[in-house]
Structure 1
């Protein structure tokens, strides 16, 4: 996988030091707090899915220890990856 390519929606990952799998359901997410910060992904526990905001996790690609499953990819995903690449380059 290209270094700056983000995983598709539906991908299942295990974070470094984690014991519970997460499913990615969003990319390039801004977490608003005292100091807003952008993360590569937002995910929820797998297989449970969304429980509530308390069980939603923002993380970066560098936090991933193991990619268990790569989500669905088609031409729309490929086009979206190009949009993301352009945004990263700017």
Structure 2
């Protein structure tokens, strides 16, 4: 495989992250056929623009950096990510605009 553009390099890097995330989520000791298929299909889909790179501020990343309690009431049940300023009103998908909420 030859990577010839910056876009292809970014797609390859993102596909590798997706492969690693899949292996970690499955608690795999080493990469298997399914993990390599995830990387291959995602890379191809990104290059032909039939797939998109998701936002970096996803639930899995936030679980590592934010306290796991509702910022409004302190509950630890039924949590999800909430935007302080909604995205449709111009709020960013960045850590300083995201909180846990029940």
Q: TM-score range by the shorter chain?
A: under 0.3
Determine which structure has the larger helix proportion and give its number: 2
Determine which structure has the larger strand proportion and give its number: 1
Q: Which has the higher contact order (CA 8 A, sep 6+)?
A: 1
Kindly name which structure, 1 or 2, has the bigger radius of gyration based on alpha carbons.
Answer: 2
Q: Output the TM-score relative to the length of structure 2.
A: 0.19
